[in-house]
């Protein structure tokens, strides 16, 4: 951090990713990539989301805009609108399902007309989960039908915390779940077919035998993003849809215990809010934040347990006969991992254009990048995918 600015990015690029941490986030600074020539010194374009003309001027000068400023439900749409109307693609790191799905509903057709790509959840939410399922599917010698994944966070010596903007996004998102339900009901989407048996339901606190640890449901956007990706792959590429669930692994003897109790506390207050309508966002924010300490997690591991059918085995009456375990290992998720994922997604958007969906639109990471070399790029930059085991049952 220097002089009120945070510098994020990837060492392979001579470009910093800069965002202004203002009180109201009215001043947004964006990383702009993809112009044919770049000067030795990167300039700064200042634009204000309250000033549409400034956003339009920014978008006209960009090929790809990386938008790092949230909560996106408050600050995201003006940027997307400016990019779509002025021919710039855009990647954000939103983990807010209502915002992500609303933007797809409002701007997909217009973005397709303009030939631009709007890609949400391009950071820790939700590239590891979304691309992890695709990696697992690609490595299975058969048809993958279901995946359970478990996120393990290893903290540094001073504990675990979460960024203020990320936590506020979660608070406002969970506090307004009724709007998300209305949006999904209004979309009238046809149900995706169920291939193979359903995933087993777990208790709010359950034990994972394979990892010998307790877990709680993951409360982020990953599951909804993966489901949207699977719908896209089924409807547009005729690929078999994969059922998906995600859990946090919590060790009671270290900071994972704080994470588990914060999560349960968060769920409790969200339920109270939904039942009574009397709990304010700021109260929920202050009550849950007290469980977390000062530093972001040191590194993470995301383990995928997949099951499916070998070639030639019918999925209607038979039980799954193949199991596969894959794993993603990465650095600290909130700043380092998210920066790597976002920048490599942008480089993929610029360099693998022939492997993207044929027309533009609003996409999940998996829908946009399933046929590209993004996984290879991530492997080269510290977010590593690997197969742990694969066997027939």
Per-residue model confidence as pLDDT tens digits over 51-61: 999 999 999 99
Q: What is the DSSP string of 20-33?
A: E--SS--EEE-EEE
Please tell me whether the peptide bond between 304 and the residue prior to it is cis, using omega within 30 degrees of 0: no
CATH of the domain at 306: 3.30.360
Please compute, for residue 146, the number of CA atoms within 13 A of its CA located in the half-sphere on the CB side: 18
Q: 142-184: per-residue pLDDT in tens?
A: 999 999 999 998 766 555 555 666 666 666 666 667 777 887 8
Q: What is the pLDDT of residue 181?
A: 81
The CA distance from 385 to 131, in Å, is 9
Q: What is the pLDDT of residue 90?
A: 98
Number of domains in the chain: 1
Q: What is the pLDDT of residue 42?
A: 73
In a domain, 101, yes or no: no
Q: What is the pLDDT of residue 187?
A: 83
Q: Where does 316-377 show beta strands of DSSP type E? A: 322-331, 361-363
Per-residue confidence at 314, pLDDT binned at 50, 70, 90?
confident
Q: 203-241: per-residue pLDDT in tens?
A: 888 899 998 888 888 878 899 999 999 999 999 999 999
The residues, ordered by sequence, that sit 6+ positions from 237 with a Cβ below 8 Å of its Cβ are 370
Q: What is the DSSP string of 240-283?
A: PP-EEEEEEEE-TTSHHHHHHHHHHHHHHHHHHHHHHS---HHH
Q: What is the DSSP string of 189-226?
A: PPPPP--SSPPPP--SSEEETTTTEEEEE--SSHHHHH
Q: What is the pLDDT of residue 249?
A: 80
Q: What is the pLDDT of residue 200?
A: 86
Q: What is the pLDDT of residue 161?
A: 56
Task: Measure the CA dihedral 70/334/305/181, to 10°.
Answer: -20
Instruction: Answer yes or no: is pLDDT of 328 > 90.
Output: yes
The CA distance from 271 to 277, in Å, is 10
The reported pTM is: 0.81
The CA distance from 280 to 284, in Å, is 7
In a domain, 63, yes or no: no
The DSSP letter of residue 318 is: S
In a domain, 176, yes or no: yes
In a domain, 285, yes or no: yes
In a domain, 205, yes or no: yes
SS3 label, residue 171: helix
In a domain, 11, yes or no: no
Report residue 295: phi and psi, to 5°. -120, 155
The CA distance from 93 to 122, in Å, is 5
Question: Crossing angle for the helix pair 222-237 and 127-139, nearest 10 degrees?
Answer: 50
Q: 271-306: per-residue pLDDT in tens?
A: 555 554 544 555 555 555 554 443 445 688 999 999
Average pLDDT over residues 117-138: 96
Average pLDDT of the chain to the nearest whole number: 80
Q: Which helix (H) or strand (E) holds 234?
A: helix 222-237
The domain containing residue 182 runs over which residues? 127-332+380-392
Q: What is the pLDDT of residue 93?
A: 94
Select, from the ranges 198-207, 296-305, 363-372, the one with the highest average predicted confidence (pLDDT). Answer: 363-372
In a domain, 266, yes or no: yes
Q: What is the pLDDT of residue 248?
A: 84
Distance (Å) of CA 386 to CA 111, 351, 366, 376 = 35, 24, 18, 11
Q: 64-97: per-residue pLDDT in tens?
A: 999 998 889 999 999 999 999 999 999 999 999 9
Q: What is the pLDDT of residue 377?
A: 97
Q: What is the pLDDT of residue 36?
A: 53
In a domain, 10, yes or no: no
């Amino acid at each position: 951090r220097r002089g009120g600015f945070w510098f994020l990015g990837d060492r392979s690029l001579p470009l910093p990713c800069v965002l202004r941490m203002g009180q109201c986030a009215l001043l947004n600074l964006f990383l702009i990539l993809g112009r044919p020539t770049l000067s030795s010194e990167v300039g700064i374009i200042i634009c204000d989301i309250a000033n549409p003309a400034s956003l339009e001027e920014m978008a006209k000068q960009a090929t790809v805009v990386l938008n790092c400023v949230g909560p996106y439900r408050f600050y995201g749409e003006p940027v997307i609108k400016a990019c779509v109307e002025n021919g710039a693609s855009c990647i954000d790191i939103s983990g807010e399902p209502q915002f992500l799905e609303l933007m797809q509903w409002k701007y997909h057709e217009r973005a397709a007309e303009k030939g631009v790509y709007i890609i949400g959840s391009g950071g820790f939410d939700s590239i590891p989960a979304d691309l992890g399922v695709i990696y697992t599917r690609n490595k299975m010698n058969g048809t993958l039908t279901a995946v359970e994944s478990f996120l393990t966070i290893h903290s540094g010596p001073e504990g675990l915390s979460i960024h203020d903007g990320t936590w506020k996004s979660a608070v406002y998102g969970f506090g307004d779940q009724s709007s998300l339900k209305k949006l999904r009901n209004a979309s009238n989407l046809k149900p995706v077919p169920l291939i193979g048996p359903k995933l087993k339901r777990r208790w709010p606190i359950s034990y994972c035998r394979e990892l010998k640890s307790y877990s709680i449901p993951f409360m982020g956007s990953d599951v909804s993003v993966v489901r949207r990706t699977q719908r896209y792959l089924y409807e547009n590429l005729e690929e078999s849809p994969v059922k998906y669930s995600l859990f946090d692994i919590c060790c009671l003897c270290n900071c994972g215990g704080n994470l588990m109790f914060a999560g349960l506390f968060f769920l409790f207050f969200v339920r109270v809010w939904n039942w009574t309508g009397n709990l304010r966002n700021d109260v929920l924010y202050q009550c849950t934040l007290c469980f977390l300490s000062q530093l972001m997690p040191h590194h993470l591991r995301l383990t995928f347990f997949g099951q499916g059918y070998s070639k030639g085995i019918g999925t209607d009456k038979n039980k799954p006969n193949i199991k596969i375990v894959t794993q993603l290992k990465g650095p600290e998720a909130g700043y380092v991992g998210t920066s790597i994922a976002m920048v490599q997604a942008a480089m993929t958007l610029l360099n693998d254009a022939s492997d993207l969906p044929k027309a533009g639109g609003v996409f999940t990471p998996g829908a946009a990048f399933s046929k590209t070399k993004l996984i290879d790029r991530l492997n080269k930059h510290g977010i590593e995918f690997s197969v742990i085991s694969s066997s027939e049952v």
